Amino acid sequence: MIQTLMKLLGLGPKVSYKELVKDGAVIIDVRTKAEYQQGHVKGSINIPLNNLSNHYAKLRKDKPVITCCASGMRSGQAKNILKANGFPDVYNGGSWITLQRKIG
């Protein structure tokens, strides 16, 4: 119970996005195509949030998934959607600009 509460509050162990990417994580940018074209994390895949459910079959459940967007709101929704649909290892990377800095 305490661990669940800590996780909900973001007080758990820190995630190394750089290590996740090094270990083969897939980065999904859930912004619109137009937003994505204005700038994105190198190597990321653009799947707009409202289109995510059409792409489950193209994503591997045995690899970590990192979601990102403009601020972290849509990527948080995408994380929850993916988790609810059987993707066990999903992380909200937040803003694509911040995520880009974190992974180098």
**Tens-place pLDDT, residues 11-21:** 556 789 999 99
pLDDT per position as a tens digit, 20-79: 999 999 999 999 999 999 999 999 999 999 999 999 999 999 999 999 999 999 999 999
Answer yes or no: are the C-beta atoms of 56 and 96 closer than 8 Å. Answer: no
* Neighbouring C-alpha atoms within 13 Å toward the C-beta of 64: 15
Question: Which domains can be identified in the chain, with CATH numbers?
Answer: 14-103 (3.40.250.10)
What's the token pair of residue 88? 């066990």
Catalytic residue at 69?
Answer: yes
Asked if 58 contacts 39 with a C-beta cutoff of 8 angstroms, the reply is: no
Q: What DSSP state is assigned to residue 104?
A: -
In 10 A of CB 32, how many CB atoms? 17
Please, which residues bridge with residue 66 across strands?
27, 91
User: Nearest to residue 85, comparing CAs of 53, 48, 40, 38?
Assistant: 53
Q: Which amino acid is at 83?
A: K
> Is 5's pLDDT higher than 50?
no
Catalytic residue chosen out of the listed positions 27, 69, 78, 90:
69
